[in-house]
Amino acid sequence: MLIGELARRTGCTVQTVRYYEAEGLLPPSMRTEGNQRIYVAEHERRLGFIRHARELGFPLKSIRTMLSLVDRNDRSCAEIDHIAREHLSEVLQRIARLDALKQELERMVAECHGGQATECRIIEALSDQSHEHAPFRDDRPG
Amino acid sequence: MLIGELARRTGCTVQTVRYYEAEGLLPPSMRTEGNQRIYVAEHERRLGFIRHARELGFPLKSIRTMLSLVDRNDRSCAEIDHIAREHLSEVLQRIARLDALKQELERMVAECHGGQATECRIIEALSDQSHEHAPFRDDRPG
DNA sequence: GTAAGACCTCCAGCGACTAGAGCTGCAAGC
DNA sequence: GCTTGCAGCTCTAGTCGCTGGAGGTCTTAC
């Protein structure tokens, strides 16, 4: 299986596959005489794992850790469980933040009745200096 | 007011203020004879606007557009309203995605009862090749 | 005079790709 | 054998919104 086929099967791009290899998440593959990568089923499984984890929002760093635990055949899955729980709690926090944000945005657009930008309610809402200035850290990805 | 004071008042870092100036979101300030930036109330208002919009997750590109509309004293706020509505719909989509993700994560961690990594349910769930491979675009920020 | 702290510019790095330049490999049709 | 065209290759730079650091200058206090 060449890289294009693997990419098609796993639903990611050719560049991404090469990127994962360069990052050491996928082991280097064999090559044809013409230097093209050849993949086997094991690569597809591993890439499928990475892909699914990425879809769930795990950062590559966590995925790297999980893969190394699996590779080492670690005695317990406690660490994997920990990573998943941490990630879940981040997701919950993001949802909470986005919900607050959604409400503010909904309020803003609801109050806009058209008119001049100088008297736009959205601008006013955004200009409102009364909200607290918590040390702002936009720690997306969200 | 020097840059440190402005940063403190608006709740962002000194570097960020300079970054916004470099990006043209804040107009260049006057300088002291020793080349230090001097800010006035108008800068604080504008930076407050930018800050609040960022907290609501607007990308700098949108903020740039909104500021230019305000600067031009545009006849209508239709475009601003449009930007806000678009952003709201993105936020709603992100919330929906995060909710789905949350459920899958919750299922995963609930099924893990400890044991060897080789038979870890989380690993299994992540390895599951049965989920569809939609062309994956992780268009965070979320 | 000197020390501390805030300021200055410029550059590199983050994460997870993505896009593009400029090349080579490979299979099919002529 | 030759061409065409797609798929592959490497390498580099760009995305976004900052953040951190190096190495220097200004300002104020003692």
Q: Residues A80, A86, A88, CA angle at the centre, nearest 5°?
A: 105
CB B135 within 8 A of CB A10: no
Residues 56-115 of B with CB under 7 A from strand D: 59-61
Q: What is the pLDDT of residue B56?
A: 82
A35 shares its domain with A86: no
Asked if strand D comes closer than 7 Å to A98 Cβ, the answer is no
* Tens digit of each residue's pLDDT (9 = 90 or more) over A104-117: 888 888 887 766 66
Amino acid B10 CA to nucleotide C9 C1' distance, rounded Å: 23
A22: domain CATH number? 1.10.1660.10
A87/A47 same-domain check:
no
User: Looking at the domain assignment, is residue B71 inside a domain?
Assistant: no
Whether B52 and B82 map to the same domain: the answer is: no
Q: Looking up tokens 């601003």, which residue turns up? A: B80
In-domain check, residue B110:
yes
- DSSP 3-state of A97: helix
Contacts of residue A45 in chain B, CB cutoff 8 Å?
A: 127, 129
Number of domains chain B is built from: 2
Q: With an 8 Å Cβ cutoff, are B118 and A70 in contact?
A: yes
- Residue with nearest Cα to nucleotide D26 C1': B34
Does residue A87 sit in the same domain as residue A137?
Answer: yes
Domain limits for position A107:
76-141
Is residue A63 one of the residues assigned to a domain?
no
Q: Are residues B44 and B7 in the same domain?
A: yes
Q: Are residues A49 and A85 both part of a single domain?
A: no
d(CA B111, CA B106): 9
- B33 sits within 7 Å of strand D by its CB: yes
Same domain, B131 and B82: yes
Q: Assess whether A5 (CB) lies less than 7 A from strand D.
A: yes
Q: Do residue B97 and residue B126 come from a single domain?
A: yes
Q: How far is A86 from chain B (nearest CA, A)?
A: 10
**Does residue A66 lie within any of the structural domains?**
no
For residues B84 and B112, state if they share a domain: yes
Which residues in chain A have Cβ-Cβ distances shorter than 8 Å to B87?
105
Identify the DSSP state of B89. Answer: H
Which residue intervals of B2-128 are DSSP H helices? 3-10, 14-22, 41-55, 60-72, 78-111, 121-127
The residue whose two tokens read 């990425």 is: A54
Do residues A6 and A54 both lie within one domain? yes
Is the residue at A124 inside a domain? Answer: yes
What residues of A are in contact with residue B104 (Cβ under 8 Å)? 56
Same domain, B137 and B94: yes
A121 falls within a domain: yes
- Residue A67 forms part of a structural domain: no
Q: Which two tokens stand for residue A131?
A: 């909200």
pLDDT tens for the 142 residues of chain B, in order: 999 999 999 999 999 999 999 999 999 999 999 999 999 999 999 999 999 989 888 889 989 988 888 888 766 678 888 888 888 888 888 888 888 888 888 888 888 776 666 677 888 788 776 655 544 444 444 3
pLDDT digits (tens, 9 = 90+) for A6-44: 999 999 999 999 999 999 999 999 999 999 999 999 999
